[in-house]
Chains A and B, each alone.
Chain A
Amino acid sequence: MIAARSRGGIRHFGILLAAVAVAASTAQELPLKKDSVRFAVIGDMGTGEKAQYEVAQQMARYRETTGFDFVLMLGDNIYGGNSPADMKRKFEYPYGPLLDAGVKFYASLGNHDDPNERFYKPFNMGEKRYYSYKKGNAEFFALDSNYMDPQQMDWLNKALHDSGAAWKICFFHHPLYSDGKFHGPDTDLRARLEPIFQANGVRMVLSGHDHVYERIKPHSGIYYFVLGNSGELRTHDLRKSADIASGFDIDRDFMVMEIAGDQLYFQTISRTGGTVDSGMIDRQ
């Protein structure tokens, strides 16, 4: 069951937002419960352009109130080359205030990323294309969807199976579901990964690639989000679809999430600071 919030902050349990482009609403705060796990999510951000910096500034502002202490990166972390100057302009400068505050970034690789980014320490990949780490009662699984070979699938199956975390969250670049007109879903990846997710209690999957925001209606109890517009943007790229719970394709955004026991709260915030989607997911 998901509880989506409307503009006024009123919860409508079981009612899903249907608009393809939701207008910015008033800012809302997550519950900010004691000892909760709080993190932000960005995708397709590494352009080095003004809009990326503006989203990053908004993230820094939200961190002051929400206190998230790590960030998931959904790939396309650095567009157009990985020279030292690129890394500074497209990562270290825009997110400098967050890095200085001790916020950790955890990257997954997109199709525009150099696979050697796994050696870049600030991305916390431990020199691996795919890896997992734990925070509180959650375990996060970063996958390399560019190259889902049998070795990686075996690793994922085992890692998920062995995980005792209450929340198992997977993040990677290519979406299994997407109503983006430009790319759309990767159905071959879906055919391989979804059964593994279902068999091992994955509750939420985060991807990028399409330069829009989309919350997909749950499939077999799994909540899929596409967040590929934290730097890049493909305006009006979402097609009308019965699968969309909520969408935003007219500006950039990022997400803040909070896991408090059996509830996961999410809030999607635009470049200009408005909340374009929010809600709560029960662990079941």
Chain B
Amino acid sequence: MTAIVAVLLLAGALEAQTLHSPVNADAAMVQDFQKRVAAYLQLRKSVESNLPKLKATASDEKISHHEIQLRHAIRDARKGAREGDIFTPEISTEIRRLIAIAMHPDGPQIRQSLRSSEPVQLHLAINEKYPDGVPLQTTPPSLLENLPALPPEIEYRITGQDLVLLDTRAHLIVDIVRGVFS
């Protein structure tokens, strides 16, 4: 009887563990990534709350001014940020793995999409501004389908061989995985 109770307790404990912990290491990486993205958003939200809200306007001066203010405020708030704070080595490995999965069935069409979308060769650093006048290369939908979802404030962008996280409103490079498309 004691043995049966012990087995049942163990089974219950295992089930609880399965319900409350990531099913595998890959899912844990994605969770970690999303947690880091959420932390960035939190910081961004707090600095943006100090700025006037940007609404549709016929004044391009206002749009430019807001972009500059937002970028500077975020940059100041994350002065100590380093490359790899969000794309840690482990998360970068997971991102490479997810891209490889997307490339396996859809490689030719993804490569064709990348070629047709005006590739850019840039060497960027985090907290830098995405340069004015340089086109944004399309991120193929098959890649986006395989990568962890992002909030609308930031996007995955490809620059040369690198995958960057771009804050689109602030034109700010948030983080980089280098050599993904080598």
Q: Chain A: residues with CB nearer than 8 A to chain B? A: 79-84, 86-87, 111-112, 114-116, 118-122, 125-127, 145-151, 153, 174, 183-192, 209
Contact = CB atoms under 8 A, between A and B. Distances in A.
A125 B142 CA distance: 26
B58 A122 contact: yes
Given A127-B55, A149-B144, A115 B61 contact: no
B117 A191 contact: no
B4 interface: no
Contacts of A186: 112-113, 116-117, 138, 140
A116 B141 contact: no
Nearest to A122: B58
A83 B145 CA distance: 34
11 contacts: A116-B63, A120-B60, A127-B56, A146-B138, A148-B141, A186-B117, A188-B109, A188-B141, A191-B109, A191-B142, A192-B141
Contact of A149 (B133, B137, B141): B141
Nearest to A87: B60
Contacts of A122: 58
A126 B56 contact: yes
B39 to A, nearest CB: 21
Given A183-B118, A186-B113, A146 B144 contact: no
Contacts of A81: 132-133
B50 interface: no
Contact of B139 (A79, A146, A153, A191): A146
User: Lowest 6 CB-CB distances: which A-B pairs, in order?
Assistant: A188-B113, A148-B141, A111-B135, A188-B140, A87-B60, A187-B109
Contacts of B17: none
Given A111-B117, A146-B136, A188-B110, A83 B64 contact: yes
Contact of A191 (B59, B106, B135, B169): B106
A150 B144 contact: yes
Nearest to A79: B133
A163 to B, nearest CB: 22
Given A112-B135, A116-B67, A119-B54, A188 B118 contact: no
Contacts of B58: 120-122
B168 to A, nearest CB: 5
A147 B116 contact: no
Contact of A174 (B59, B64, B117, B144): B117
Contacts of B113: 186-189
B149 interface: yes
Given A188-B141, A189-B141, A183 B116 contact: yes
A147 B144 contact: yes
B145 A150 contact: yes
B155 interface: yes
Contact of A115 (B139, B144, B149, B168): B168
Contacts of A114: 171
Contacts of B132: 80-82
Nearest to B57: A121
Interface string B95-117: 00000000000101110110011
A103 B173 CA distance: 37
Nearest to A191: B109
A145 to B, nearest CB: 7
Given A119-B54, A185-B116, 18 more contacts: A81-B133, A87-B60, A114-B171, A115-B168, A116-B168, A121-B57, A122-B58, A150-B145, A150-B149, A151-B152, A153-B141, A186-B116, A187-B112, A188-B141, A188-B142, A189-B140, A191-B142, A192-B142
Contacts of B61: 84
B143 to A, nearest CB: 8
A84 B60 contact: yes
B20 to A, nearest CB: 27
B136 A83 contact: no
B128 to A, nearest CB: 16
A153 B110 CA distance: 17
Nearest to A190: B109
B116 A111 contact: no
B1 to A, nearest CB: 53
A188 B168 contact: no
A148 B144 contact: yes
A188 B57 CA distance: 34
B138 A174 contact: yes
